[in-house]
């Protein structure tokens, strides 16, 4: 959090400055989180509005998961398309190295996998544990997704 120095107070025993929480600098973090949550919940109108207000299609949620990954994790094909239309990075990762493609594979979301493959995602991508899309798809036990990967 940002802090702003105030004035020296003689009633404070130490000679340090008194600090008070400052209002956050104007930024888009709340709106970025809102966009990520809208992608996770397939709320297309909210996504369109926030992007029109200048929020990046590469927005991340509070845990650092990109909106594209959240849409893929939820199997939300329309949200994926909308984010890509507005330039969302196919290879954006969360703190575990997971891309939207890896999320789609883990969830067995065949339509999302197909869309991401058609968009040119990195099929050799691995998360921080070294798991590939094929490995994650096999774990999903979704036959349709396995045929796509």
With H, G, I as helix, E, B as strand and everything else as coil, classify residue 54: coil
For residue 66, the number of C-alpha atoms closer than 13 Å in the C-beta half-sphere is 27
Contact between 65 and 93 under an 8 Å Cβ cutoff? The reply is no
Q: Is the pLDDT of residue 46 over 80?
A: yes
State pLDDT tens for residues 120-142.
999 999 999 999 999 999 988 88
Q: Is the pLDDT of residue 14 over 90?
A: no
Q: Which residues pair with 3 in a beta bridge?
A: 21
Q: Token digits for 31? A: 């709106």
Q: What is the mean pLDDT of the chain?
A: 86
Contact between 136 and 100 under an 8 Å Cβ cutoff? The reply is no
């Amino acid at each position: 959090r940002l802090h702003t120095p105030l004035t020296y107070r003689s009633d404070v025993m130490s000679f340090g400055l008194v600090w008070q929480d400052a209002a956050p600098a104007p930024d888009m973090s709340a709106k970025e989180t809102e966009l990520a949550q809208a992608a996770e919940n397939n709320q297309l109108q909210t996504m369109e509005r926030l992007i029109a207000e200048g929020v990046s299609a590469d927005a991340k949620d509070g845990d650092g998961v990109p909106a594209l990954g959240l849409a893929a994790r939820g199997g939300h094909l329309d949200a994926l398309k909308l984010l890509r239309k507005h330039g969302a990075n196919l290879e954006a990762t969360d703190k575990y190295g997971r891309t939207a493609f890896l999320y789609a594979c883990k969830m067995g979301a065949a339509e999302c996998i197909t869309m991401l493959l058609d968009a040119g995602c990195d099929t050799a991508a691995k998360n921080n544990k070294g798991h590939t899309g094929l490995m994650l798809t096999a774990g999903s036990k979704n036959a349709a997704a396995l045929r796509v990967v």
